[in-house]
Amino acid sequence: MRYKAIFIDIDDTILDYIPCCREAFEHALEALRADELQTPNAASKVLNDEEWFQIFFSISGRLFSEAKHGLHTIAEVMDLYPREFVGRWNELTQGGEGDLTEQTDTFKYAFRSAWGKTHTLVSGARETLEALHAKGYRLFAASNSFAHLQRSRLELAGVLPLFEDTFISIDIGYDKPDVRFYEEALRRCGLPPESVLMVGDSMTTDILGARAAGLDAVFFDRRHEGVKQEDMQGLRVITSLPELLALL
């Protein structure tokens, strides 16, 4: 076997990010509403749940994208998006008055607690992981997030036992695409970069980050975004996870 181990991203590679995000958001919104004792349901008169979700998704999407380019750490983003969303919520429902610390904490912890339980698998993920495991590859999850939440999600999805270990940024100390994330992950599994393949859906964090650390990478183009000419350089691209099996 050319590779001894495979590092695999979690969100939008193994677990389906949007349904998970929507589910956690619904719980957080419910908690925020329960806090609205003085003006019950003011928020639902302004926008419907889907419209609130779109605002949330656009805020968190922008912040995670900025993090990919080094503007924030993932730990900072985890605090920034609840604060920004609750600020917007307050502005639209109550004219932006008052101290939002309590509401922000309510939203943030309700979201995190629900997020740790979300586990919708990407199509073909379980079968692919099982097949790779059966072929003898050492599997490691490699993700930007909190370790306990990501492990809980993989466990609930029933795939955690297929992984030898999980490398999660806030625990590792660096976020992908920082090469130090990959160097620390390699150190923990005791392998040189040429023995490891990285698989993920983000060109920036998964592919360019892994390549900078000397790993080969496979781009999971699940949203059919295509690849820029300058990023190709012999890059292997799959549009469904089971295609990975044919490449190895």
Three-class DSSP category at 55: helix
Work out how close the CB of 77 gets to Mg ion at its nearest, in angstroms, rounded to a whole number.
14
169 vs 202 by CB, closer to Mg ion: 202
- Entry field: residues in the chain: 248
Both tokens assigned to 81:
């998006």
Both tokens assigned to 231:
């990023």
> By CB under 5 A, is residue 201 in contact with Mg ion?
yes
Which residues, other chains included, contact 243 with Cβ-Cβ below 8 Å and sequence gap of 6+?
none
> By CB under 5 A, is residue 16 in contact with Mg ion?
no
CB under 5 A: which stretch of 154-162, 163-171, 177-185, 199-207 binds Mg ion?
Answer: 199-207
CB under 5 A: which stretch of 65-73, 171-179, 195-203, 210-218 binds Mg ion?
Answer: 195-203
> By CB under 5 A, is residue 11 in contact with Mg ion?
yes
Task: Tell me the per-residue interface mask from 65 to 84 with Mg ion, x by CB under 5 A, - otherwise.
Answer: --------------------
> By CB under 5 A, is residue 12 in contact with Mg ion?
yes
Residue list 202-221, contact with Mg ion (CB under 5 A): 202
For CA atoms 77, 82, 85, 90, the dihedral sign is: negative
Instruction: Please identify which residue in 5, 6, 8, 9 interacts with Mg ion, judged by CB under 5 A.
Output: 9
Both tokens assigned to 58:
């656009």
d(CA 145, CA 78) in angstroms, rounded, equals: 8
106 vs 202 by CB, closer to Mg ion: 202
Measuring CA to CA, which residue among 28, 105, 21, 9 is closest to residue 63?
Answer: 21
Total binding residues toward Mg ion, as defined by CB under 5 A: 5
d(CA 77, CA 69) in angstroms, rounded, equals: 13
Q: Which residues bind Mg ion (CB under 5 A)?
A: 9, 11-12, 201-202
